[in-house]
Amino acid sequence: METEIELKFIVSPEFSSQLLSKITEAKILQQSSRELGNTYFDTPDQILRQNDIGLRVRRFDDVSVQTLKTAGRVVAGLHQRPEYNVEIDGDAPTLSLHPADAWPDHFDVVAVQQQIRPLFSTDFTRQQWLVAMPDGSQIELAFDHGEVHANGKSSPICEVELELKSGQTDALFTLARELCASGGMRLGNLSKAARGYRLAADYQGDPVKPLENVATTEQDTVESTFIKTLEHALEHWLYHEQIYTERQDQQALVQISQSLSLLRQTFATFGGIIPRRASALLRQELQWLEGELSWLEEASSIDELTEDKSYVLRKLNARKALQTQLEARYEQLPDGEDMLRLMNSARYCGLLLDLSRWILSRGWQPFLDDKARAKLLGAVKPFADNVLSRSWSELLEVFPAERQLTRSDYIDQKSRLQRNLMCGLSFAELYEPELRKVFRMPWFDLLQGIEDLSALEPIRQLLTSFEGEDLLQIEKWLQRQNESLIHAMDQTRKMSIELAPYWP
C-alpha cells in the first residue's frame, strides 16, 4: 500500500505554455508523455462509492494496472488517500488481488466482484516531470488534458497534479506556490473519479447550503477544535467555489464570504492563546478577499428592492426611476467573469495554499510558549464556556435593554453581532441542542432585522437624485420602513437579553 499525497489544480488548455516555461527553471530528473486510458468500476447501487472507494483499471504502454483507492482526507486541495496498485492481464478487475485489510470491515468482496461493471472512463494525455526540490524532496508534476466519458456524454479534463514521491509535504506547497505565481490555477476539490460519477449520474451540481456547526466533541482539545474549525471553513469555501465555477450562483459567493468570516473569527476566538503574529499574513489576505466580496451585500439589497417588478417599491410614484437607477448601479458591480478571474488569480490561489500549508504544518506552534501549548492541550469544554461568556457580555454591552438604539446604532453593530454568532459554531455541538436553539434564534432574528434595515441603504444613497414631491414621498417611505423595523428589533433585543445562556 502507498499513501498518495497530491495537490490538484484546474487550469485552462493554454496553461501548458505557462507550465513549460516554469519547468525550465526546475531541476528535472525524468520526463515523459503518455496516453492514458482509464475505466472506473462500481456496482449498480454504487457500493464502492458509498464506502468512499475508487476502483479503476489504467492502460498504458500495453500494460494494465488495477488501482484501489480508499477513504482519505482532503484539505484545501491536498488529497491524501491510501492506494493499492497491481498489474493485471486484460481489462476486468479482480478484487481479490488486493489485501483483505484494504477493504472496510464486513465488506463482501466476493459479492461485489460479481456485480461490478464499467461505469465511466477517462482518456487523457499526461505530460509528466519528476522534479527535484532544493530540500531533497521529489515531486511528480503532471499536466493532464483529455475527457471524461459516461453514457455518451463527455466533460473536459485539464488539470495539473503535484504528487509527493519522496520527502516532505511542505515541498508540494513550495512548488505549487511557484507555479501559481502568474495565475491561471485553481485548486481542485473534485477528483477525476468524482467528476466521472457526476457525469454518469447526470448530476446537475451541488446545492448551496449554509454553514453548519463544527463537529466538536467533549473529547476534543482546544487545539483540535481550532483545527477542526479551520478545516470546516475551508471545506465550505471550496464546496461553494466549485458551485460558483459551474453555474455562477451568487449565493455560493455569499457562502464563501461566510467561510472567510468564520476563518477570521476563529483566529480571534483562539487569539488569547495563539499570538496574532502567528497568523498575521493569513489574516491580512483574508481581509483582502473579504474586501473583494464586499459588494455582495449591496447586490443582495438591490436584488431584494427590485425583485418581482418593484413589489417592494410599488407604492412610490418614483418607483420606475428608482428601479432604473438601482439596476444601473447593479450593472456597475462585479459580474461572473470578474469573480472567475479572481478565483484563478495568483493571490487567491496563494491564499488557499498558504492557509492549507499553515494548518497541515501546525504553523502556529513555533510562536507558542510552554504555557500556551499546555492550554491548547486542555479540554475544549471549559474553554468554550469561557469564550461564550465573554461573547455574551459583549452583546449585553452593545445592545443594552435600557437604551434606545437608532438606525445607525443597529447598523454599526451588525458585524459585531455576526462575529459573536459565528463564534458559537465552533462549540455548538458541546451543548444541548434545544437550549442552544432557543437562545440563539432571537439573536439571529435581530441580525435579520439589521440586514433588512441595511437593505434600504441603496435607496437612501439615491435621495440626491430626486426633488419635490418625489423626494418627500421617498423620505417618508424610508422613515416608515425604519420605524417599523426598529420597533420589531427593539422587542427582539429585549427578549434576547432576558434569555438564560445555554452554557454553564
The predicted-structure confidence for 410-455, as pLDDT tens digits, reads as follows 999 999 999 999 999 999 999 999 999 999 999 999 999 999 999 9
Q: Which pLDDT tens digit goes with each residue over 66-81? A: 999 987 777 756 888 8
| Helical residues (DSSP H) of 31-121, grouped into ranges | 47-50, 109-115
The answer to whether 414 and 447 are in contact (CB under 8 A) is yes
pLDDT at 90 (0 to 100): 87
Count CB neighbours of 406 within 10 A. 11
Among 13-22, 89-98, 115-124, which is the least confidently predicted range? Answer: 13-22
DSSP 180: G
Q: Which of 415, 429, 427, 439 is nearest to 500 (CA)?
A: 439
Biggest CA-to-CA distance, the chain:
86
User: For residue 488, how many other CB atoms are within 10 A of its CB?
Assistant: 15
Helix and strand numbers (H, E) in the chain are: 19, 10
* Band of pLDDT at residue 308, cut at 50, 70 and 90: low
Which residues have C-beta within 8 Å of that of residue 5, sequence separation ≥ 6? 78, 79, 80, 163, 164, 169, 172
pLDDT digits (tens, 9 = 90+) for 341-388: 999 999 999 999 999 999 999 999 999 999 999 999 999 999 999 999
What pLDDT is recorded for position 198? 93
CB 502 within 8 A of CB 438: yes
pLDDT in tens, 449-492: 999 999 999 999 999 999 999 999 999 999 999 999 999 999 99
Cβ-contact 133, 171 below 8 angstroms: yes
pLDDT at 196: 94
Give the pLDDT confidence of 83-113 residue by residue, as tens digits.
Answer: 999 999 988 999 999 999 999 988 999 999 9
Would you say residue 47 has pLDDT above 70?
Answer: yes
Average pLDDT over residues 287-301: 97
**Eight-class DSSP state of 277:** G
Reduced to 3 states (helix: H, G, I; strand: E, B; else coil), residue 290 is: helix
Angle made by CA atoms 91, 155, 139, in degrees to the nearest 5: 70
- What is the per-residue DSSP string for 120-162? EEEEEEEEEEEEE-TTS-EEEEEEEEEEEEETTEEEEEEEEEE
Q: Residue 56 above 60 pLDDT?
A: yes
> Residue 191 pLDDT > 90, yes or no?
no
Grade residue 1 by pLDDT with cuts at 50, 70 and 90: low
Query: For residue 268, which phi and psi values (nearest 5 degrees)?
Result: -70, -45
DSSP string, 305-371: HHHHHHSTTTT-TTHHHHHHHHHHHHHHS--HHHHHHHHTSHHHHHHHHHHHHHHHTTTTGGG--HH
Q: What is the pLDDT of residues 137-188, one digit of tens each?
A: 999 999 999 999 999 999 999 999 999 999 999 999 999 999 999 899 999 8
Cα 413 from Cα 393, distance rounded (Å): 14
Predicted TM-score of the model (pTM)? 0.93
As a whole number, mean pLDDT of residues 306-313 equals 72
